[in-house]
Structure formats: C-alpha cells, structure tokens
Amino acid sequence: MPPIQLPAESARSVRVEMVYCPDGPDVDAEQAKNRRLLAFGSAFIFELDGQQFLVTARHNVTGRHWQTGEFLGGYSMAPTHIVINLLAKPPEGGWRIGPSEVGEHVGSTQIKLRSFLVPLLSEDWKPGWLEHPVFGSDVDVAVLPVDFTDPEAFVVAWKTPVVEAREPHQAPWPNLAAGEEVFVVGYPNALMTGPMFPLWIRGSIASEPHFGYGVAEKHLPLMLIDARTRQGQSGSAVMRHRPAGTVITRNNGELGVTTAPVSQLVGVYSGRTSDESDLGFVWRMDEVEVICRDGVPGTA
C-alpha cells in the first residue's frame, strides 16, 4: 500500500475528557482508578516562547456555563483533571500500513497512544488554569501550562507566528473578515477518526472580527462564525486552510500554486449562541496569546 501523509493540523488537536478524581491533583493516569467521567470536549496544543499550553474553552474546566455560572448538562461537580491521549512516537521508518481483513482497498496499522492526566487544580486545590488578565471569566478560554516531555509522546503544537509558511515565497493571507472560510477542528459529540484524530467542520466568519461582539451588554474580543457545530467541539482550534494545489498571489504579485497545505490559526471555538442557532462564538487568537503571556490564575 502506498504511503499516506496525515495533516499536521489534525495532530495538534486533542479530545479532552473532563473527570473528577477524589485522589488529589498529583495522581497520575495509572493511579487514578476512581475517576468519574463528566464530559467530553476539544482542545489543542499551543507553544509560545518555548512554553507549551493546552488551550480549551473555560467552561470545560469549570463545568459551568460561562455566562450564567450554572452547571452544564453532564456536570454535577467541577472537574479536577483533564484526560488527553497523544500519539506515541512512530517507530523508525514511520508507521507501517499493511493489508487488513476488511479487503485489499483498506489498510491496517497499529498506532500506540500515550495517556496523560492533566490536573486542573494546584496542590492547594485552587484553579491551575489561566484566564484573561482584563476580561477574566468573561472570556470563555482557559489556558493550562503543560510540559509534555514524555520521550515516548509525539507532540505537535501550533506555534507563533500562527501562520505556517511552507512555501518558498509566502503568500499573505487576506484580511480576516466576514465571509472568510474557516474550519473548526475538534470532536463533535466526541466523534473522531483513526487514532483519535479530529473532524474538520467547515464554516464561515459571520461578524467582522476586529470589531469584537457584544454579549449581555459587554463588548468582548470575539467573533461569530456560521458552522454546523455540536456539543463536544468547545475548545476546538479554528483555522483558515489552503490545501495543496491552491492558486495564490505571492508577495511579489505573481501567481503561484501551493505545493503543500498551509494553515492559519485564528481562534478558539467555545459553543453556539443558542441551541437553535448555527452561529457560534470564536475568541480571537491574539487574545489567547495575551492569556498565555499575562494570564491571571483562574476563578471558579
């Protein structure tokens, strides 16, 4: 079977399981036998100035609606940990794909996963995530400083600048504006493909991003997108994406064609405006960087 190449963007997203563990914040994944699953969600790994962060929606880590403060469905208590699974590093020569029992057109391979139990609380049982230094809990984004140094884990992170340049003459992205196509890369209804890879849900920007958006008489640094999203996608990376073979205008004004995929991370998805709407909230990535650099201890 010929080799296949998986997009790096899929490896950057992780499905998160919010759990309650009575054994304390320092227990590891092997020891936490009494953990209780509360909900599923989405997250992604982001690296800034050499520090890794797990970025997700704040309501995932509190279990409460980010506006009303009421417990969300599935939660009867606040979670103490997040469970994530990362790909184990591939063997030398990469993962081998062979014939499967299904048929000659379906390949089979074995890919191992490494499980991590990420504490949401510090040793004194206070929140360990970071919130926005100005807007606080009004921004539905939580950032967890992490250090995935396990030699067996295969960590793929978004990094700054949040535009991946894979072309010899980088083509600038157009101004982020209403009408631009985006993808919400996460886990609707906890669904996944392959070894826990996310689904890419297509949408478009519905509001002008640079003007922010008013929620409950508060003007907040977010934008709206129009996408068919579902429960479990809160915390997803939102990106613009150019597949290989896309015609672009280079910096020198000449036309070119991308020879590899290229993406731009633009924000964090945190849920729909209402159960009846396909409009959803996306928090701008520049404000997520503010949390990573200058975030304050979380509140609950």
Lowest mean pLDDT among 113-122, 216-225, 266-275: 113-122
From the list 2, 38, 29, 142, the residue with the least C-alpha distance to 86 is 29
Of 205, 222, 201, 200, the residue nearest 282 (C-alpha) = 222
DSSP annotation of 288: H
Cβ(250)–Cβ(258) below 8 Å: no
Q: pLDDT tens digits for 29-74? A: 566 667 889 999 999 999 999 899 999 999 999 999 999 999 998 8
Using an 8 Å Cβ cutoff, are 10 and 198 in contact?
A: yes
CA 59 – CA 141 distance, rounded (Å): 8
Catalogue all structural domains in the chain, each as residue range(s) with its CATH number.
Answer: 8-297 (2.40.10.10)
Over residues 97-109, the pLDDT tens digits come to: 666 677 666 666 6
Indicate the pTM of the whole model: 0.89
**What is residue 55's three-state secondary structure?**
strand
